[in-house]
């Protein structure tokens, strides 16, 4: 993990491999952002002109490298675009700082230390820059010959935030929060990126048990026998075709001063072949990521514990591997769920809602103040919102709005989605209480309606469909790497923080 420090040192005298500065996009060319004063002064106040000569515009994510001025101990200045220059009297937003820091950290892969002289007006800015840098420096290297990226370079070793105040309580708290959240988010990324032959339900449960022990979280793991005894027909039905048995993991973080209880439920299909309704070639190569919801829930609970939030948080990880075999669930089979309802399985590739249904009902039994489930649930949501935005559905409009606002605050694009009642009829079954499929059009909304059937009466609930942003198949951008992204972790943590502060519900 990249090290992080707050520094009061001046940029010229700091020993580092590079000085990172920000550049805004002004109406008449690039504008040197606050924090880069010492660098600009060393260029006799002509740094903006030099950058423009080199082709810089200040556009978001743009990188321009130039030799450091005489007298600087760092040999390189790296200018990163922050996007549009703020209006007079305003400052660069937290997300602009996060993205710029992430781009810079990735551009400095292979460097041992970099000094970040980005705009830093307060502790919140320090937290945003720290978060972006630590997420941008992420590299998944477990299967490579050492901690190296695709080009054979190690991630940036250390980030020094210039302008930080090491002895200030607010600055220290902001950086400590950034460290806790990013470390757990990056752990979620590691889990998502781990090949399914090394991360089956049992292995995932073992990771959760180890982390729970380390951070004082109570953990309970239900194996096949316990699931069968308890009547968890959805989880068992999905895992029936695999040699690797399913698991239901319950993580319980409690705080002595808590007055509210949140339950987070994550879909954890460690590999999704589609089962008997087999996915075609071209659609199954990245299906190790189908446990991203469970990874997000796991990371959020651990982060809440590390931050000592005054809220009780229970995480439910519904883990199974969906495989075809002679013992697999067939289209047309009927499963009796943990709630007692029966479900006719029309498509075994609509399996996520089946494991979530059991976990939602288990979570409901504890009567939490709210339940939020997270899942890479439907391709329909990707078609609707693209690859960077997750959909939010809920049985309470105010709660849905609060989640969208929290997601926006932490820089995770989301969009409120409806639960149209007329789509429920499409899941009527002549054989069972409900079918796991309905109308094809609006499939993401149909899935949300299905899940709602398994939420306890009177409990506030929301569903996050992260199928689009959970796994980035394109090139890296901002602080988002290729591969597992850790989508929804920061939104869940923010919801826990707001609840602890009494600002949610």
**Which residues form the catalytic set?**
279, 353
Backbone torsion region of residue 152, taken as left when φ is above 0, otherwise alpha when ψ lies between -120 and 50, otherwise beta:
left
Maximum C-alpha span of the chain: 80
Question: Of 395, 402, 397, 403, whose CA–CA distance to 464 is shortest?
Answer: 403
User: How do strand 18-26 and strand 29-32 relate by DSSP bridges?
Assistant: antiparallel
Q: Evaluate whether 469 touches 282 at the Cβ level (below 8 Å).
A: no
3-state DSSP assignment of residue 159: strand
User: How do strand 247-253 and strand 261-272 relate by DSSP bridges?
Assistant: unpaired
Alpha-carbon span 150 to 154, nearest angstrom: 10
- Where b means 16+ CB within 10 Å and e means fewer, 188-223 reads bbbbbbbebeebbbbbbbebbbebbeebebebebbe
Task: Tell me the two tokens of residue 105.
Answer: 């950290």
Task: Tell me the two tokens of residue 70.
Answer: 């005489």
**Roughly how many angstroms between the first and final C-alpha of the chain, as a whole number?**
36
Task: Tell me the two tokens of residue 44.
Answer: 């006799």
Mention every residue, 6+ apart, whose C-beta is less than 8 A from residue 172. Answer: 6, 166
320 strand-pairing partners: 269
Alpha-carbon span 235 to 227, nearest angstrom: 8
Residue whose pair of structure tokens reads 């049992």 in the numeric block = 202
* CA 394, chain centre distance (Å): 19
Mention every residue, 6+ apart, whose C-beta is less than 8 A from residue 41. Answer: none
Q: What is the DSSP letter of 111?
A: -
Other C-beta atoms lying within 10 Å of the C-beta of residue 307: 18
Q: Phi and psi dihedrals of 266, rounded to 5?
A: -120, 135
User: How do strand 471-472 and strand 483-484 relate by DSSP bridges?
Assistant: antiparallel
User: How do strand 414-416 and strand 390-394 relate by DSSP bridges?
Assistant: parallel
Q: What is the 3-state secondary structure (H, E, C) of 352-407?
A: HHHHHHHHHHHHHCCCCCEEEEEECCCHHHHHHHCCCCEEEEECCHHHHHHHHHHH
């Amino acid at each position: 993990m990249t090290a992080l420090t707050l520094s009061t040192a001046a940029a010229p005298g700091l020993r580092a491999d590079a000085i990172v500065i920000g550049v805004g996009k002004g109406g008449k060319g690039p504008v040197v952002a606050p924090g880069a004063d010492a660098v600009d002064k060393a260029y006799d106040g002509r740094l903006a002109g030099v950058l423009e000569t080199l082709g810089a515009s200040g556009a978001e994510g743009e990188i321009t490298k130039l030799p450091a001025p005489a007298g600087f101990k760092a040999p390189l200045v790296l200018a990163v675009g922050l996007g549009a220059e703020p209006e007079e009297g305003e400052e660069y937003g937290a997300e602009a700082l996060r993205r710029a820091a992430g781009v810079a950290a990735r551009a400095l892969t292979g460097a041992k230390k970099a000094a970040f002289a980005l705009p830093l007006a307060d502790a919140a800015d320090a937290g945003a820059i720290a978060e972006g840098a630590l997420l941008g420096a992420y590299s998944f290297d477990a299967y490579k010959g050492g901690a190296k990226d695709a080009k054979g370079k190690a991630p940036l070793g250390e980030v020094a935030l210039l302008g930080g105040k090491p002895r200030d309580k607010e600055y220290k708290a902001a950086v400590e929060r950034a460290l806790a959240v990013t470390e757990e988010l990056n752990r979620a990324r590691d889990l998502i990126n781990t090949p399914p032959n090394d991360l089956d339900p049992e292995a995932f449960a073992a990771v959760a048990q180890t982390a729970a022990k380390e951070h004082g979280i109570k953990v309970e793991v239900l194996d096949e026998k316990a699931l069968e005894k308890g009547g968890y027909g959805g989880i068992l039905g999905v895992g029936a075709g695999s040699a690797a048995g399913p698991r239901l993991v319950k993580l319980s973080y409690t705080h002595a001063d808590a007055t509210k209880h949140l339950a987070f439920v994550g879909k954890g299909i460690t590999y999704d072949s589609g089962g008997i309704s087999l996915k075609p070639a071209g659609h199954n190569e990245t299906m190790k990521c189908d446990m991203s919801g469970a990874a997000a829930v796991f990371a959020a609970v651990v982060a809440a514990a590390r931050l000592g939030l005054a809220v009780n948080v229970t995480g439910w990880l519904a883990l199974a591997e969906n495989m075809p075999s002679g013992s697999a669930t067939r289209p047309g089979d009927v499963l009796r769920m943990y709630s007692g309802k029966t479900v006719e399985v029309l498509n075994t590739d609509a399996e996520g809602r089946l494991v979530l249904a059991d976990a939602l009902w288990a979570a409901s039994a504890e009567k939490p103040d709210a339940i939020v489930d997270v899942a890479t649930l439907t391709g329909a949501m990707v078609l609707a919102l693209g690859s960077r935005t997750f959909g939010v559905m809920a049985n309470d409009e105010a709660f849905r709005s609060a989640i969208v606002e929290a997601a926006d605050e932490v820089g995770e694009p989301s969009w409120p989605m409806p639960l149209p009642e007329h789509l429920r009829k499409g899941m009527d079954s002549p054989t069972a209480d409900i079918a796991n499929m309905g109308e094809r059009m609006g499939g993401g909304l149909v899935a949300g309606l299905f899940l709602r059937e398994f939420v306890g009466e009177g409990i506030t609930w929301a569903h996050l469909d992260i199928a689009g942003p959970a796994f980035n198949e394109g090139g890296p951008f901002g602080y988002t790497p290729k591969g597992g992204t850790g989508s929804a972790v920061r939104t869940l943590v923010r919801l826990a923080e707001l609840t602890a502060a009494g600002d949610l519900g």
